[in-house]
Amino acid sequence: MGISREQAAENREAIIEAAERLFREHGVDAVGLTALMKAAGFTQGGFYNHFKSKDALVAAVMARAVQASKGALAGGDVAREAAMSPEARAEQYLSVTHRDDVACGCPMAGFAGDAPRLGEEAQACYAKGLADAIAAMTAAGVGQGLSPAQATQAAMARFAQMVGTLVLSRAVVNVDPALSEALLAAGRQALNGQRADA
Amino acid sequence: MGISREQAAENREAIIEAAERLFREHGVDAVGLTALMKAAGFTQGGFYNHFKSKDALVAAVMARAVQASKGALAGGDVAREAAMSPEARAEQYLSVTHRDDVACGCPMAGFAGDAPRLGEEAQACYAKGLADAIAAMTAAGVGQGLSPAQATQAAMARFAQMVGTLVLSRAVVNVDPALSEALLAAGRQALNGQRADA
DNA sequence: TGTACATCAGTGAACGCGCGTTCACTGATGTAC
DNA sequence: TGTACATCAGTGAACGCGCGTTCACTGATGTAC
């Protein structure tokens, strides 16, 4: 068709964006390239002008998702996120809104189930994103006076609590919405409220 | 071939067992019926003598996995599990052994990522299994003097901490084993050791 | 207890379909003179 | 600045392959008489 280089770069981004949404909604394996290219507004054959394989696209999707979520755990406005207290962030992370927004939410939670079976490059992006998220929470803990070791341990446990709660609440929301919301509430209380395990 | 009814029932179980292992290792979508039946020791055509569809098999697998894990969070010996303290159970759950034993470990963690996309019957089995696991932990908390509401909240948060830590540690183990083990250690400390978030 | 027959768990080929990938072709973009 | 041509992002048909599922067939099991 003849397309400018600028336009081609935009089209490549459009493919990655469509792929991220579809991968998160249906799983990487369940999305075919024909459907994917159609969702991005193109025909199947053009895919290989932008990526050398589906695996390469998965890696590009993961790199983008992880980069976009830096400092924005729930996929929202990055600047506003950065100004949030840890408590407010947990409230947002474990909200019904975030639970229902699989397509745009935290990639560490959205791809957690798929990650062990992705290609090596995509796995590396995922691990980098996880390390970054933990590092950001660790820095906040150090800023509040914890030792680096304490802050790291607390950040890891806190992030795992957040991801675990979100993943479980998403796993049961279709068949037991009450349990799904109770899990979110219990997670919020554990992260921000009084500990009930004393 | 002509097979006794007893033998046929055993063969059906063999198919479910092979399916559970393969589904957990490679994901439900990635396992074809031909490979599955071969792994169970049969040819493809016989599948529909036992199940009316792949979805029906998935539901049977989930029902079996959830039932087998009752009281045995890490897939081990049920009787020994029941005698364990909550602390010992967390140590086992967040062990390297359990992390590496995807095929036989806790089904709530093993299927957490796939659950949102499974058929309705399989999702119902999963939710039932999760509710049972939380109920068992709640009973333990009540036995230690917590109010039912407190115990339920604590059990949900604790289980989400365990699953989240395990899922994240599995997601990065291939590319960052040090991070994977640090997550397990942080989870164990958060569940059993001194809280570091004070 | 023996014989005749229906049942049904197996086999393995075949169905239509969508997968990831390749290919020949098109035509505007971008470059060289 | 205009013309000639190479580049390359598109199109859409086609490749071999494995998917879930169906089918005709086999033959020991289990039942009826």
Query: pLDDT tens across B175-190, in order?
Result: 999 999 999 999 999 9
What's the mean pLDDT in B48-59? 97
CA distance B31 to chain A (A): 11
- pLDDT, position A72: 63
Q: Say whether A171 and B130 touch across the interface (CB within 8 A).
A: yes
d(CA A172, CA B115): 8
Is B102 an interface residue toward A (CB < 8 Å)?
yes
pLDDT tens for chain A, 198 residues long, are 578 899 999 999 999 999 999 999 999 999 999 999 999 999 999 999 999 999 999 999 999 999 998 756 544 555 666 678 888 999 999 999 999 999 999 999 999 999 999 999 999 999 999 999 999 999 999 999 999 999 999 999 999 999 999 999 999 999 999 999 999 999 999 999 754 443
Is B140 an interface residue toward A (CB < 8 Å)?
no
Cα torsion A22, A28, A31, A32: sign: positive
CB contact at 8 A, B162 and B141: no
CA A50 to chain centre: 24
Higher pLDDT, A172 or B2: A172
User: Does residue B197 carry a pLDDT above 50?
Assistant: no
| CB-nearest partner of A113 from B112, B160, B185 | B112
B:15-54 Cβ neighbours of strand D under 7 Å? 31-35, 44-45, 47-48, 53-54
- pLDDT, position A86: 87
To the nearest whole number, what is the mean pLDDT of chain B? Answer: 92
Higher pLDDT, B69 or B177: B177
Is B32 an interface residue toward A (CB < 8 Å)?
no
Determine the Cα angle at A163 with ends A89 and A14, to 5°: 85
Determine the Cα angle at B103 with ends A122 and A157, to 5°: 60
CA distance A8 to chain B (A): 32
